[in-house]
Structure 1
């Protein structure tokens, strides 16, 4: 489902660009793999990934870092033993942009291919 988003590239965001409307965010959220959710304030999307050990967790973190570098769009990562929570938001617009969903789809693809 997220395959078409995963094939897209992030576009630079300019200050003054409005964040996505809630309906737009919910629509794009429906195109991602199960597990992603809007944060309570609706300004970010978040998903926790679970792994069998710390090594797998760190391999995932490094793969997410590679995606972030390639797209020049960077998430918040909370890392612990066997888990990593990824949060995407676009600070330049003060909320969600399409870039957040593109990057989330790329992370989903990493997990699918592993």
Structure 2
């Protein structure tokens, strides 16, 4: 099943870190714009926007997803930029399935075209 079609679950299994091979497989197949930070154990993606308004509209949409999924990212926001970072604190700051599910929901926002030209690799 596609990650973007799943909802976060909040039980012990959901808080279990994904093994590296499963994480790599899901990221390469469904989250190709996301990266894994070996130092922090987080997945992240940098979004770029044409102006502050589009940036903040995107941040508010991410906040809505986070609230709906009850799974919240770390965000770094500046003019025209937003960095979204996910780990699961209950799993020792490791990446769990819920992190990938939320990342996929955020990617669906990017594909909607409602926030201007979003993703540009740095």
Do these two structures clear the TM 0.5 threshold for a shared fold by scoring above it?
yes
Q: Does 1:66 align with 2:64?
A: yes
Counterpart-to-counterpart distance in 1, 2:42 and 2:30: 14
What residue is the counterpart of 1:38 in the other structure? 36
Q: Structure 1, unaligned stretches of length 5 or more?
A: none
1:13, 1:92 within 8 Å by CA — same for their partners in 2?
A: no
Give the deviation of 1:78 after TM superposition: 0.3
Count of residues in Structure 1 that have an aligned counterpart in Structure 2: 111
Give the deviation of 1:34 after TM superposition: 3.2
Counterpart-to-counterpart distance in 2, 1:34 and 1:19: 20
What residue is the counterpart of 1:110 in the other structure? 109
After the TM superposition, which residues 83-102 of structure 1 pair with which residues of structure 2 at under 5 Å, given as runs? 83-94=81-92, 95-102=94-101
Q: Which moved more, 1:35-44 or 1:86-95?
A: 35-44
Q: Does 1:53 align with 2:51?
A: yes
Secondary structure of 2:9 counterpart: coil
Measured on the aligned residues, the alpha-carbon RMSD in Å equals 1.8
Counterpart-to-counterpart distance in 1, 2:64 and 2:29: 22
Secondary structure of 1:10 counterpart: coil
Q: Which moved more, 1:64-73 or 1:35-44?
A: 35-44
Give the deviation of 1:42 after TM superposition: 6.3
* Counterpart pick for 1:80 among 78, 92, 96: 78
Secondary structure of 2:91 counterpart: coil
